[in-house]
Each structure stands twice: as C-alpha cells, then as structure tokens.
Structure 1
Amino acid sequence: MVRRLLSIVVLTGFAGVLPLIAQAEASACSCVYMPDDPRILEQVSHASSVFTGTVVSERVAGQTAFFEFEVRDVFDGDVDGTTTVSSSIQGPACGRGFEVGTEYLVFASDYETNGADFSDNSCSATTVSTNQRTRDAATTVYGAPRTVTVETGTAVESNGVRVWGGIAAGVVVVGLITFGFVRRPSSRS
C-alpha cells in the first residue's frame, strides 16, 4: 500500500514538472490584418508612413528581411522615391513577406527598422495595392495620395504641381511670344 501511494505521488509530481521542462511551442502571430474587419479605419490609422510601391529587391540578414520599394504614391509621411522596409523572417514574430515585382499599399512603422527606412509586420494594414477597401480607408484617413516625382524622388501634390507648372509654362510662352514678335518701331529717317 505504501508503495502504491509512493508511486502515485512520484507520477503526480513528474506530471506536474513535465510541462515546466518541456520546450514551449511558439504561437503564431494573432494580430493579422483583415480588410473586412469593421474597424478598418482604426487599423489603417496606425502607421508612421503610408505609401504605394513595388518591391524591386529583397535581401536577408540574420532574422531580418529587407525589401527595396520603388514608391509611386505617398498617403502620409516623408517617403522618398525608393525606400527600404524591414520585417522579421519569422511568422511567430509577426514577420511579413513581400513578393518582388508586386505593388503593395504599405502601412509602415519607424519602430525597430534594423537600419532600414521603415519596418512592417503582419499586424499592419499592409496589403496588395489592388485591395480597394483598404485604399478607400487610407484615402478617408489620410486624404488623396501625392505622386512621387521621378526627378526629385520626393512626394508632391500632383494636382498643385501640374497646375502651377502649367501656369509657369504659359507665362514663359506668352513672354517669348510678346518679346519675340512685337517689334519696336524703328527710327528711320
């Protein structure tokens, strides 16, 4: 009887200690963005910079992937014509992957960039640029995007630049016509 009780105590003790010495299983990231979530406006508003860009290259260093983007439009933030976004390569760490050649609507962070311009993870609202619901939400929160100019690599108000550029060109043309074709009376005697 004592042996039986001792066996039960040892087995119970072993069963209680086993979970403490066994390796814990990593859980997957639970904050993945869902475009159909009714809180979409709240979700898209959590970014330090928002832009549309195409991934042109990828490199991995340690546990971090670095993605180079050619930026087309900027909704918010100080984003150049080309920018680098980092992300963990581990899914349980909420890492995000991007496919080279695909255009994304990126909701980037300036937290834990690992030397890149920005960082991103699967908790952000980042999605392919054709996701109209997310694009509409971004426009609602940040306003219409600014187009990135190729010459300077910076985002500008596309409508304002075009209007003022057109006005300036018109003034130059009118000036050239006026001074080039209007002849001053010559003093012939």
Structure 2
Amino acid sequence: MTPTTAFACSCAYPPDGSQIVEQISHAASIFTGTATAERVAGQTAFYEFDVREVFDGDIGTTTTVSSSVHDAACGRGFEIGSEYLVFTSTYDTQGAPWSVNSCSATTESSNDRTREAAVTVYGAPHAPDPHRDSVGIDDVGTARWWMLAATGGAVWLIALAVRRRRSNKP
C-alpha cells in the first residue's frame, strides 16, 4: 500500500487538470496581469496587479486581490514581476475587490491549457476598462482600520473634553 499525496486544502488539484473547465466556471472575475506589489496586514496578503487583459468581470487597468498568508488556510502567493492568469472570488476579500486561494485555477499566464479553457468558457479576452476605477494596494485593507482608529480616538478625545468641562463647572 502506497500513500497518496495529501493536500491541506481538500479542493487542491493541478491547475491544468481534468476539472479545469468546471473550476474556472465559478470565478467572479478572470484576468491576466503582472503582480507589481505585495502588502501583508495580519493574516492577509494583498497583491496589486497591472491588468493586461480581462476574460470576465469589471476590472480596470490596476486591481488588487487578497489571500491568506497561510498555506494551511488555502493561501495563494504571487511572485512580484511575474504574470498570472488570475481566477478570483468575492469571498472574504478583506476589503479588496477580489480574493484568490489555492482552490482557484490561478496559474502562470504561460499555462496554455488553462488559458484555452478560459477562452472556451468566456470567449476571447479584451483590454481592461480604462474608465473603471483602478484599485491599488494602498486602497484596501488596513487603511480603513486606520480611519476607524482615528475616528475612535477623536470620539474618545471629545468625550474626555466634555467630561473635564463638566467637572470644572461650579
């Protein structure tokens, strides 16, 4: 008896395996782009992409995807400077427009079998929409936590000032 390969994620499969058409049919958006930046905030990594072409979805020339930083949580990383064929989800995006995980069909853009499957399901790709708002890496994630913290701090300071004012009245 020989052991089989074990995967941390039960959905793991080869990116150009026999289930590729079924897997890509569930994507929220599909684009080809180059990873240009990475920012990690807690348990989430955010990756910015310069988008070259779009198979499906409303995507501008720049977009950001999130993923868990942990392989055991089905996280998926990207090498900065490399081009990918990205299949996204809108699940647990942590503020980014899209998310990816190791269960998606995301692969290097040179993977001809996956690209052919994308063309079969979605048709020929088109250029990204230059009028669509681009979403850069600094537009998502922890930036909104800073705003919440600043708002909370301002409310606390106002409450403290009101309290002091009331205690100083005769």
Question: Structure 2: any 5+ residue segments left out of the alignment?
Answer: 1-6, 134-170
| CA root-mean-square deviation | 1.5
Look up the match of 1:59: 39
Which portions of structure 1, spanning 4 or more consecutive aligned residues, are displaced by more than 4 angstroms? Answer: none
The answer on whether the counterparts of 2:16 and 2:111 sit within 8 Å (CA) in structure 1 is no
Choose 1 or 2 for highest CA Rg: 1
| TM-score with structure 2 setting the length | 0.71
Look up the match of 2:22: 42
The answer on whether the counterparts of 1:33 and 1:124 sit within 8 Å (CA) in structure 2 is no
Q: Identify which of 65, 68, 93 aligns with 1:113.
A: 93
Q: Identify which of 78, 81, 85 aligns with 1:101.
A: 81
The answer on whether the counterparts of 2:50 and 2:61 sit within 8 Å (CA) in structure 1 is yes
* TM-superposition CA deviations, 1:120-145 (whole Å, max 9, x none): 00000000000000000000000000
Residue 35 of structure 1 deviates from its aligned partner by: 3.0
Relative contact order higher in (CA < 8 Å, ≥ 6 apart)? 2
- SS of 1:54's equivalent? strand
- SS of 1:125's equivalent? coil
| TM-score with structure 1 setting the length | 0.64
The one-letter amino acid paired with 1:40 is I
- Write 1 or 2 for the structure with the bigger share of helix: 1
Count of matched residue pairs:
127
Structure 1 vs Structure 2: percent identity of aligned residues? Answer: 65
Residue 153 of structure 1 deviates from its aligned partner by: 5.5
1:73 aligns with 2:53: yes
